[in-house]
């Protein structure tokens, strides 16, 4: 039986061919330039497209700037979340609200050039369900390259073997991938790894990421750390195996230490077996125990979230903004589409 969301998409997708989903948080400096640049590139296509801007709880004048400059693009949808849920959750909300047969991720800081739209669209027309835009490291500072390379290495080694070597942020996919994402709204999970693991036909292109021209990046260390933890817990058994390995190593070390104590005692060797050795054993043991409990707690918390039906995001309102009409606020009185 078709879901309400599938039926809705069938009715509205006939007029929109491409949806560009752009999450943002406090990007008022970039809004006017973003809309003007996108309009310039979208005019090259003979089909109708839309821009889906997802407000992830902005506290500046970003929304006001969008409503002020919305006439720069033909079709714009403003999706406002009830609070800040994070960029990955905002992308999921954009996918749910997108009307197009194809969906693409882009970002408000314009570090990923809009020329990628045409390049990715050319590739998906060759029969691919998903096409990634993988970053090249040339031109980026060492600091900018460090986290993507480290994260990519971890993912290839312990989670997804075909993860791009320098990471990615931009992707275009068809209605099959969108359907699966809408059917599997996962909390505390990476939407990019989820797409990679679907198994559909995929390809990639390479591009150079540009420097941010305005505003400040919201990609903080805390968000990067959360992404690493979420990726490992959601897509890899390595953390659980790591606990087992650490336990075995500690047990082996304890056994070797016991054998050494017995040998020292039998041989009459005066070894330092007092409080320094005892404190070392206690501190190492407590550290390993707490580390293990922390990993287990991560899995338990996610299980608890799934059991109580936590939502990946909550939409406050959706606003249609067109060049030739007044804005229209869509009603959100509809079946539960955003439950995890």
> Residue 294, CB half-sphere, CA atoms under 13 Å: how many?
8
**What integer pLDDT is reported at residue 188 of this predicted model?**
74
- Nearest to residue 69, comparing CAs of 42, 40, 33? 33
Specify the residue for token string 């994070």. Answer: 86
pTM (predicted TM-score): 0.69
Asked whether 179 and 131 are in contact (CB, 8 A), the reply is no
Q: What tens digit of pLDDT does each residue of 117-145 get?
A: 999 999 999 999 999 998 776 555 556 56
Task: Say how far apart CA 339 and CA 335 lie, in whole Å.
Answer: 10
Structure confidence by residue, pLDDT tens digits, 206-249:
888 777 666 566 556 676 666 666 666 666 667 766 776 777 67
**Is the pLDDT assigned to residue 78 strictly greater than 90?**
yes
Task: Give the torsion sign (CA, 316, 25, 49, 177).
Answer: negative
Residue 8 has pLDDT above 50, yes or no: no
pLDDT of residue 312: 80
Assess whether pLDDT exceeds 80 at residue 283: no
Return the bridge partners of 104, or none.
20, 172
SS3 51: strand
Alpha carbons 237 and 84: distance in angstroms, whole number: 29
**pLDDT for residue 193:** 84
Its CATH class, for the domain covering 4-235+311-330, is alpha beta
127: left (phi over 0), alpha (psi -120 to 50) or beta: left
How far apart are alpha carbons 182 and 338 in whole angstroms?
Answer: 8
User: For residue 136, which of 118, 117, 107, 116 has the smallest C-alpha distance?
Assistant: 116
**Average pLDDT for the chain:** 78
Look at residue 294 and give its three-state secondary structure: helix
Looking at per-residue confidence, does 260 or 276 come out higher? 260
Tens-digit pLDDT profile for residues 81-105: 999 888 889 999 999 999 999 999 9
How many whole angstroms separate alpha carbon 165 and alpha carbon 158? 14
Is residue 79 within a helix (H) or strand (E), and if so which, with residue range?
strand 75-81
Q: Are 51 and 35 in contact (CB under 8 A)?
A: yes
> Where are the extended beta strands (E) located within 166-281?
168-173, 202-208
List the chain domain ranges: 4-235+311-330, 238-307
209/78: higher pLDDT? 78
Which range has highest mean pLDDT (169-173, 234-238, 244-248, 304-308)?
169-173
Percentage of the chain modeled with pLDDT above 70? 68
Closest CA to 38 of 70, 78, 79, 81: 70
In this structure, are residues 59 and 118 in contact, taking their beta carbons and an 8 Å threshold?
A: no
Query: In whole angstroms, what is the distance from residue 302 CA to residue 95 CA?
Result: 23
Strands 49-55 and 75-81: parallel
Residue 339 pLDDT more than 50?
Answer: no
């Amino acid at each position: 039986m078709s879901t309400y969301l599938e039926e809705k998409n069938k009715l509205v997708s006939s007029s929109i061919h491409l949806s560009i989903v752009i999450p943002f948080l406090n990007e008022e400096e970039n809004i006017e330039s973003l809309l003007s640049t996108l309009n310039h590139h979208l005019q090259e296509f003979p089909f109708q497209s839309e821009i889906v801007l997802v407000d992830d709880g902005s506290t500046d004048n970003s929304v006001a700037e969008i409503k002020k400059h919305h006439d720069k693009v033909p079709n714009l949808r403003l999706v406002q979340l009830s609070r800040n849920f994070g960029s990955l959750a905002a992308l999921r909300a954009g996918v749910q609200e997108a009307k197009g047969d194809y969906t693409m991720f882009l970002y408000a800081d314009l570090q990923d050039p809009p020329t990628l739209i045409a390049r990715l669209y050319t590739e998906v027309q060759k029969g691919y369900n998903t096409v990634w835009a993988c970053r090249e490291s040339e031109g980026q500072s060492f600091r900018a390259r460090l986290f993507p390379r480290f994260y990519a290495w971890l993912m290839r080694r312990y989670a997804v073997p075909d993860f791009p070597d320098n990471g990615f942020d931009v992707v275009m996919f068809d209605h099959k991938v969108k359907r699966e994402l809408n059917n599997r709204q996962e909390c505390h999970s990476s939407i990019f790894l989820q797409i990679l693991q679907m198994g559909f036909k995929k390809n990639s292109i390479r591009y150079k990421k540009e420097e941010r021209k305005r505003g400040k990046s919201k990609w903080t260390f805390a968000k990067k750390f959360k992404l690493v933890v979420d990726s490992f817990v959601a897509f890899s058994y390595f953390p659980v195996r790591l606990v087992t390995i650490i336990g075995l190593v500690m047990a082996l070390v304890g056994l070797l230490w016991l054998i050494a104590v017995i040998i020292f005692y039998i041989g009459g060797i005066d070894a330092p077996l007092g409080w320094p050795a005892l404190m070392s054993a206690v501190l190492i043991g407590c550290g390993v125990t707490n580390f293990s409990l922390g990993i287990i707690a991560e899995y338990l918390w996610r299980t608890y979230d799934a059991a109580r039906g936590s939502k990946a995001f909550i939409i406050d309102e959706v606003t249609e903004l067109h060049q030739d009409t007044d804005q229209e606020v869509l009603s959100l009185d509809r079946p539960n589409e955003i439950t995890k």
